[in-house]
């Protein structure tokens, strides 16, 4: 690896700066005595930056929530990759997410990390410090700078017929206006019929109060716009989108949550990770074709 220089996080403003919160949570967990997961690439990226993950991670509920969702989403993505040997994964609002290096990826995986230009510029600089995928590997990792509220990002993703698509929106949608979330989900189901979507949503209560209560979030100046209490709301937006599964980060290891360990119902109401089917399942389509 080339000699390391610390890169400045000053170029990250507002919502872009929020990426430091989940990165810090993953690094701090990885460096703990008995970590629940180890994010080797995340630790290496943080090491190249001029920020202290331990300071950002002092915000306990953000930290634990991000750690819990990391475990949930890593498992859900691994499950998808297991079910679909030829997968195209599109990670929206990816920040400095390093899931591509944590999951059990097959040779044929294609993975796109999408975020706003200042984030992608920084991520490319950071990743240029590491070795590329080995020569001859068909695993492809691509970073794409785009605003996900403008559907033209889709034109930059070359498609093949035999790939199953998984879209991830982790720590993203709460920063978008509801109209943008609705439009984005419609675009996804139009474009990726038969694909799947994993998204993280915060409750309406959290959306209202967390921007003021969380020191880490307050520091970024980012505003929270979208909250969701009932996943069926999304099914009502578009009948082609169906809930497949639902997890609650607040169910994870109560002792980690400080005072919230005494309030299990509140804890589990705060945030959700939701798994949706976009349009008809590919397996169902295959079954119909073979029955015809």
Ligand X SMILES: C[S@@+](CC[C@H](N)C(=O)[O-])C[C@H]1O[C@@H](n2cnc3c(N)ncnc32)[C@H](O)[C@@H]1O
Nearer to ligand X, 108 or 142 (CB): 142
Nearer to ligand X, 92 or 279 (CB): 92
Q: How far is the CB of 82 from ligand X (least distance, A)?
A: 22
Nearer to ligand X, 150 or 286 (CB): 150
Nearer to ligand X, 14 or 258 (CB): 14
Nearer to ligand X, 46 or 278 (CB): 46
Q: How far is the CB of 110 from ligand X (least distance, A)?
A: 18
Give the binding site for ligand X (CB under 6 A).
Answer: 15-16, 18-19, 21-22, 93-95, 97, 115-116, 119, 147-149, 170-172, 175
Q: How far is the CB of 51 from ligand X (least distance, A)?
A: 14
Q: How far is the CB of 120 from ligand X (least distance, A)?
A: 9
Q: How far is the CB of 149 from ligand X (least distance, A)?
A: 5
Q: How far is the CB of 260 from ligand X (least distance, A)?
A: 20
Which residue's beta carbon is nearest to the bound ligand X?
A: 95
Nearer to ligand X, 88 or 184 (CB): 184
DSSP state string for the chain: -PPP-PBPSTT--GGGGGGHHHHHHHHHHHTSSS-SS--HHHHHHHHTBSS-HHHHTTSHHHHHHHHHHHHHHHHHHHHHHHH-SSEEEEEET-TT--HHHHS---TT-EEEEEE-HHHHHHHHHHHTTSPPSPTT---EEEEEE--TTSGGGGGGS---TTPEEEEEE-S-GGGS-HHHHHHHHHHHHHH-TT-EEEEEEE-HHHHHHHHHH-HHHHHHTPPP----S-THHHHHH-TTEEEEEEE-GGGS-GGGGGGGGG-HHHHHHHEEEEEEEESS-HHHHHHHHHH-
């Amino acid at each position: 690896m080339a000699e390391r220089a610390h890169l400045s996080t000053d170029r990250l403003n507002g919502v872009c700066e929020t990426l430091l919160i989940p990165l810090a949570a993953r690094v701090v967990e990885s460096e703990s005595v008995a970590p629940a997961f180890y994010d080797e690439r995340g630790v290496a990226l943080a090491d190249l930056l001029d920020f202290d993950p331990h300071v950002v991670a002092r915000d306990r509920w953000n930290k634990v929530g991000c750690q819990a969702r990391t475990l949930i989403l890593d498992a859900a993505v691994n499950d998808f990759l297991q079910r679909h040997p030829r997968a195209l994964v599109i990670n929206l609002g990816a920040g400095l997410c390093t899931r591509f290096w944590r999951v059990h990826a097959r040779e044929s995986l294609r993975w796109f990390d999408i975020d706003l230009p200042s984030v992608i510029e920084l991520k490319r600089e950071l990743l240029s410090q590491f070795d590329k995928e080995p020569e001859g590997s068909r695993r492809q990792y691509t970073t794409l700078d785009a605003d996900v509220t403008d559907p033209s990002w889709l034109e930059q993703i070359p498609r093949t017929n035999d790939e199953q698509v998984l879209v991830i929106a982790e720590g993203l949608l709460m920063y978008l206006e509801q109209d943008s979330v609705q439009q984005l989900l419609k675009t996804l189901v139009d474009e990726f019929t038969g694909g799947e979507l994993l998204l993280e949503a915060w409750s309406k209560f959290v959306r209202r109060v967390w921007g003021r209560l969380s020191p880490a979030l307050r520091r970024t100046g980012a505003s929270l716009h979208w909250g969701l209490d009932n996943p069926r709301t999304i099914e009502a937006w578009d009948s082609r989108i169906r809930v497949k599964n639902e997890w609650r980060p607040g169910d994870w290891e109560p002792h980690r949550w400080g005072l919230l360990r005494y309030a299990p119902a509140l804890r589990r109401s705060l945030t959700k990770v939701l798994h949706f089917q976009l349009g008809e399942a590919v397996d169902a389509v295959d079954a119909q074709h073979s029955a015809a």
